[in-house]
A and B are shown apart, each in its own frame.
Chain A
């Protein structure tokens, strides 16, 4: 399908690359379908683009690049506890807030996005009782 991304212009999105968030993403409960896109080759940032609302996109990054000890096992366990298949390959992404200069970007390490690469089902999980915050200084 073709969408007109506000950030990246016109895009052709293959159906099989769409990830469905059955609960939506907090703040955006009505929107369920997203697609993870490369912004620039070699960049550590990607764009999670809403398929349903072309004006909506999130900058995301790999949380392990920000904290090598990021608890991927806990993330996988929580994904499984939601009734989703934790045995498949997962893409795990932290949403980055880019307020613009002079304020530095922050990453939400408390509530990462977890996307099953086989099931194409995603959810924003919460690392309860962890030291992480929604605004981790990058």
Chain B
């Protein structure tokens, strides 16, 4: 889910091997291979655009949210 506070666009495409989806001018996602339940994607994007596996992004975001709950008294106990 994208939660940037802005209205998001939601689209679903069907693509075959070798076909691609372009996002904006400069992001291209190509289906490289489909094998059973797994699909290999190639992502071409400007290098300043962060690309994550979604579950990894979520894991990092959740840990950041846990870490952000710093109570001043807990800070006192850290040496």
Contact = CB atoms under 8 A, between A and B. Distances in A.
Interface of A: 6-8, 22-23, 25-30, 39-40, 43-45, 47, 56-59, 81-84, 95-101, 105, 108, 110-111, 123-124, 126, 134-135
Contacts of B64: 25-28, 58, 95, 108, 124
Interface stretch (B16-24, B25-33, B36-44, B66-74): B66-74
Contact of A58 (B60, B61, B67, B71): B67
B13 interface: no
Nearest to B5: A30
Given A27-B65, A28-B68, A56-B68, A83 B74 contact: no
A47 B75 contact: yes
Contacts of B59: 134
Given A81-B47, A95-B67, A26 B61 contact: yes
B59 to A, nearest CB: 6
What is the size category of the interface that chain B forms with chain A? 20 to 34
A108 B4 contact: no
Contacts of A108: 60, 63-64, 67
Nearest to B66: A97
A26 B60 contact: yes
Nearest to B57: A26
A82 B48 contact: yes
B5 to A, nearest CB: 6
A90 to B, nearest CB: 17
B48 A83 contact: yes
